[in-house]
Amino acid sequence: MNHAQLTHLGRALRLLGEHGEALTADTPDAKLQEVKADLRRALELLDESAGAAPTTRCAEHPNGPVDESAPDLCLLCETRRRSARRAEFNGPAPQAPPSTAPSRYGTRGDRPQPQQRWLPELWNGQEWQLCGTPRRDRREAELYLAALRRGSRPAMAYRLVHEFTDYEVLRIWGTPVKVDIEPLGNL
């Protein structure tokens, strides 16, 4: 961009800013037409100043061949991504395929892991009651109870309760086939 272009473009853009400042619900149509013309003028100046427009949105191949269906319009990168997806689809089943469509409900495997917790409880003289946070780890829960028993005023008795929640897929409707999902991209 040379100095003359810079001057003209700067003036045109500042004028658009003024139009924006002055805009109200009462702005007449004639004024809007004027804004439109000034906007066009600014675009023309930009075209002159900015040089050849990139054909893709790819940082690596801005003027490379175009693939209209690719999120970044880059044929070279899209070809690379397609073959990578194909390899993943045909190759050994990945443990956790990358989720291209994030769900607010999350996903779970076909045979989800059961949940296990260990609950520290004490005898309060009447009944058993929870005396600490349920632990994911048995050893941790035992250490916690041992610490309570060594405390200054231990309860009459403590116990460790194993809570086990199992999950089982009962029935599946339809056939869950892995599909080649087009990336959503960040358009």
Tell me which of 9, 61, 121, 145 binds Zn ion, using CB under 5 A: 61
131 binds Zn ion, rule: CB under 5 A: no
**Phi, psi of 131, deg, nearest 5:** -125, 15
Applying CB under 5 A, which part among 4-12, 31-39, 59-67, 157-165 lies near Zn ion?
59-67
The nearer residue to Zn ion, 71 or 132, going by C-beta atoms, is 71
Query: How far are the Cα atoms of 50, 120, 122, 128 from residue 162, in angstroms, in the given order?
Result: 69, 9, 14, 14
Are 85 and 67 in contact by the 8 Å Cβ rule? The answer is: no
Q: Which stretch binds Zn ion (CB under 5 A): 4-12, 75-83, 96-104, 173-181?
A: 75-83
Considering the complex, what minimum distance in angstroms separates the CB of residue 72 from Zn ion? 6
135 φ/ψ angles, rounded to the nearest 5 degrees:
-105, 150
**Stretches 20-28, 77-85, 112-120, 125-133: which one binds Zn ion (CB under 5 A)?**
77-85
What is the size of the binding site for Zn ion (CB under 5 A)? 6
Q: For Zn ion, which is the closer residue by CB, 42 or 75?
A: 75
- Pick from 162, 165, 164: which is nearest to 118 by CA? 162
**Selected binder of Zn ion within 35, 76, 119, 148 (CB under 5 A):** 76
Spell out where 92-157 has E strands.
Answer: 115-123, 128-130
61, two tokens = 């191949």
